[in-house]
Amino acid sequence: MRVWYCRVAPMSMVQFKCFRLLMSMQQALVATILVAFSALHSLPAAAQPSLPTLGDGSELTTSAERRLGDRIIRELYRDPDYIDDAVLAEYVQGIWQPLKAAAKARGELSPELEERFAWQILLGRDRTVNAFALPGGYLGVHLGLIGVVATRDELASVLSHELSHVTQRHIARLLSQQSKQTPLMLGAMILTALAVSKNPGAAQALMVGGQALAIQNQLNFSRDMEREADRVGYGLMGPAGFAPQGFVSMFEKLQQANRLNDNGSWPYLRSHPLTTERMADMHSRTPMGSAAAAPVATLEHAMVAARARVLSNPGVDTLRQWVAEPQSSGFAALPPARRAAVLYAAALGSSQLRDAGGARATATRLHEVVRGDPAAERLVRLLSADIEMAAGDAAAALGALANLPGDTAVRRPELVLRAQALLRVGRPAEVTGALQTWVAGHPEDATVWQLLASNWQAQGQPLRAVRAEAEARAAHYDYAAAVDRFKAGQDLARRGGPQVDHSEASIIDTRLKVVESLLREQAAER
């Protein structure tokens, strides 16, 4: 089969990075799609179902969709823009989990989907305003989106919309609709969608001819999906504890951006185009008299949004502007949430510019602004620990985390920071138990597995360290690397003689068999 590419202008470095990533994904994605649809194409013509309606099931099984999602996500884990920031991840999860629970309670999330799908969120260090659902219950969220939403409820509206795409099997339906087209074309369509999520311009090199026509033919069907995701997502907001008005205010924000901005910084508008019908539907669902009661920005959300903006790597000049903003003449007149955001960005920006003294002074000012708000005070404490770790003072970071309330001492941001600081001061044993407890309940947490590996290594336990390294690789679906580390563990156990930890060696043997089986399944899909 001949694949044609259109002539495009020379790519920027950003475009090139995106293009290179997509090309590395192409072989894996196309192979997976071939497997996923081989069963469909093997059916007799009379047995092949017609295009499903929005209320019907999908030809693509949940297992096949999950495998497709796993293949895609394995590549995204390797993307340099992937970021596992404990503070941001916890905040997003705090919105995602109530929405997921509400979907389950309302019957939108079936037991089968809950069991078989991953239900994981990946954060991307990308300044564009975007979020997107992927096969198998994965969701991508760019820091640009977190940085631009004004309230927790606005972010919840986006997540509930994307969650509804998953629970309503929209991705599977979209793929099933294309069952009469070539698998290569399907692969190109998925690659194009991912390219748009990174940089709309880069996608143009992949979308020509038949691919472009296929996507155009999907528009009417996609609009139906968008309306359904709006309806279902809106219904999740109240039961999940969020103001449904967040949906309306987010739509208004997107509409304004659509009018004023067409430079590609809002790719969410391209993948989820607004229509007057969708806007009117959201307004009609708002109870009479509540339209003016827009959700109020909290200190916590303002600071989280500021963190997202800083961690999206805006550039030195922008960081310097944020650092200088608290000194402006109009700063004192700003509302508290805005002042908290400005000070948070200035403190974290100073830390990234290696001005530890300035960062500490600004953090002190920030603490005065948020005093009396427990959630905001916690973020200031975590920020202070971040600043001290960046300055190389792990002992001071531990001081910032001292005397934690009982309900926060075991939360992931505190756990990660404490583990990093205790490693630096040579006291890893103090956090070993907490790390083990965490991975027992969250075996997919590659970051904590890697921290545990470093922890064991520092305590002279190489066998346990190698096993934790293997688990970290497996958590990111890099089964080949995981097998390599498990085999390294077996070699260590054999050389260790009678002093070896036989219990740990037995766990390694068992896990190696499991991961080798998963690796064979991966190879069979190619």
SS3 percent helix, strand, coil of the chain, rounded to 5, is: 70, 5, 25
Give CA–CA dist 424/386, Å, rounded: 14
- Give the end of a domain, one of 234, 257, 285: 285
Give CA–CA dist 314/352, Å, rounded: 11
Q: What is the pLDDT of residue 225?
A: 86
Whether 472 and 414 share a structural domain: no
Domain range for 436 is 430-526
E strand spans, 374-505? none
Residue type, 27: Q
Q: How many domains does the chain have?
A: 3
| Residue tagged 């502007």 (tokens) | 321
Measured on CA atoms in the order 91, 96, 102, 104, is the torsion positive or negative?
negative
Q: What is the pLDDT of residue 59?
A: 66
Q: What is the pLDDT of residue 49?
A: 33
**CATH (domain of 319):** 1.25.40
- Identify the DSSP state of 498: G
Residue type, 211: Q
Helix H or strand E segment including 139 = strand 138-142
Give CA–CA dist 286/274, Å, rounded: 18
Structural domain includes residue 210: no
Whether 70 and 126 share a structural domain: yes
Positions in the chain whose pLDDT score sits under 50: 1-58, 182-184, 202-221, 291-292
Give CA–CA dist 476/75, Å, rounded: 9
Whether 107 and 229 share a structural domain: yes
pTM assigned to the model: 0.82
Whether 416 and 397 share a structural domain: yes
Spell out the residues 6+ positions from residue 452 whose beta carbon is closer than 8 angstroms to its own. Answer: 432, 435, 436, 439, 468
Whether 272 and 340 share a structural domain: no
User: What pLDDT, in 10s, does the model give residues 69-80?
Assistant: 898 888 889 888
Structural domain includes residue 185: no
| CA distance readout (Å), 515 to 118, 477, 507, 512, 522 | 17, 10, 12, 5, 10
Q: What is the pLDDT of residue 501?
A: 87
Q: How many C-alpha atoms does 136 have within 13 Å on its Cβ side?
A: 19
| CA distance readout (Å), 468 to 457, 462, 474 | 10, 10, 10
Structural domain includes residue 209: no
Structural domain includes residue 370: yes
Structural domain includes residue 229: yes
Give CA–CA dist 183/29, Å, rounded: 10
Q: What is the pLDDT of residue 55?
A: 41
Structural domain includes residue 129: yes
Whether 476 and 513 share a structural domain: yes
For the record, the structure tokens of 164 come out as 């509804």
Structural domain includes residue 50: no
Helix and strand element counts for the chain (H, E): 25, 4
- Identify the DSSP state of 131: E
Structural domain includes residue 92: yes
Q: What is the pLDDT of residue 20?
A: 37
Q: What is the pLDDT of residue 497?
A: 72
Whether 423 and 301 share a structural domain: yes
- Residue 445 backbone phi and psi in degrees, to 5: -85, 90
